Structure 1
Amino acid sequence: MPSFKGQYEHSIDSKGRVAFPAKLRKALSPDAQERFTVVRGQEPCLYLYPEDEWRNVEGKLSRINSFSKKGRLAKRNFLRYAEDVSLDKQNRIAIPADHSGYAGLDSKAVFLGMGEYIEVWDPEELQKADESLEEGAFEEIFEQVMSEEPDENDR
């Protein structure tokens, strides 16, 4: 199981390619074969799942009840933007144009290790998200989600 962590900023070239951070590449499982599925994030960012982790996500998605409206909406709005990408010989990843537009990616991309997946942010969007937290909010949220008995809303 990969353990992606850290923050890395890289430039995006005119063809929408960005160097994949070496430290994150080292955390890739051989089973991923340098292939990813990229999807729109819940904030204005992208989620990059290595191929082997994506199989786990698909397993969870397959257990969603497609006969319920919420189930269909969740699957539809997650999978409709899923696209497979691979590292090229220069260890770059080509970000699909519609995904770049959604995340506001232009000249730079920030990769954030999120354990089993990676978030890709525009630096300015990430700064806005960070600044939107009220003082002390992170500490409160961290304490709540790391406690032994999570709130019903966090499950």
Structure 2
Amino acid sequence: MARKFRGSEEVKVDAKGRVSIPAKFRRVFESADPEWETGKRPQLVVVFGTESWKHLQLFTMQAIDEVDEQISRLQRGSAARNLLENIYHGHAEEAEIDGDGRLVLPQKLREKIGLTDSAFFIASGDYLKVWSPENYREEERELEARVPEFEPGADPLSLLALASSQTITEAG
């Protein structure tokens, strides 16, 4: 199993759209790129999604291969497969981390998610999400509100019990 991303970090965006990928995240991209070796640039896939998305998803090569495999198992022509192919193939770009540990985000992607002078990275398991700091703060408030079982001040791990009970119900 590939290493997972952990943590979050805010970084500067320069005038050319370059963002420094924090070292802890670069190590994950390197370890999950089967073609990477010392001296080479780690590859990744930037998914910019549909018009409503306010973030980017940065997938390791290993993770995007798993997504592609899952999509290919869906019935050709099905609505779900068409949507997923549209997002993860059509609204995505291959990219690489340069020798200085930076990723260049094209202007159209920066504009799409509202990036100006800083970007907020947050781990999502086998991929990273990139937000404008302002959009992320709004998203975090909305995340908690969308989980009615999560009461303010509650232990977030309590939600895992809910997931376990759903699995048992679905299996039974």
TM-score when normalising by structure 2: 0.76
Partner of residue 44 from structure 2, selected from 22, 30, 36? 36
SS across alignment from 1:149? helix
Residue 143 of structure 1 deviates from its aligned partner by 4.2
> Which shows bigger deviation, 122-131 or 61-70?
61-70
2:108 corresponds in structure 1 to 98
Is 1:76 aligned to residue 76 of structure 2?
A: no
**1 CA distance for matches of 2:18 and 2:43?**
15
CA RMSD of aligned residues (A): 2.7
Report % sequence identity: 25
Partner of residue 120 from structure 1, selected from 126, 130, 149? 130
Uncovered stretches (5+) of structure 2, i.e. residues with no partner = 37-41
Partner of residue 131 from structure 1, selected from 108, 132, 141? 141
**2 CA distance for matches of 1:134 and 1:30?**
35
1:108 corresponds in structure 2 to 118
Q: How many residues align?
A: 153
Residue 104 of structure 1 deviates from its aligned partner by 1.4
**1 CA distance for matches of 2:10 and 2:149?**
23
Query: CA contact under 8 A between 2:12 and 2:20: conserved in structure 1?
Result: yes
Query: CA contact under 8 A between 2:122 and 2:130: conserved in structure 1?
Result: yes
Is 1:150 aligned to residue 158 of structure 2?
A: no
Q: Which has the larger radius of gyration?
A: 2
**1 CA distance for matches of 2:78 and 2:91?**
21
Residue 71 of structure 1 deviates from its aligned partner by 2.3
Deviation above 4 Å: which 4+ runs of structure 1? 135-138, 140-146
1:21 corresponds in structure 2 to 22
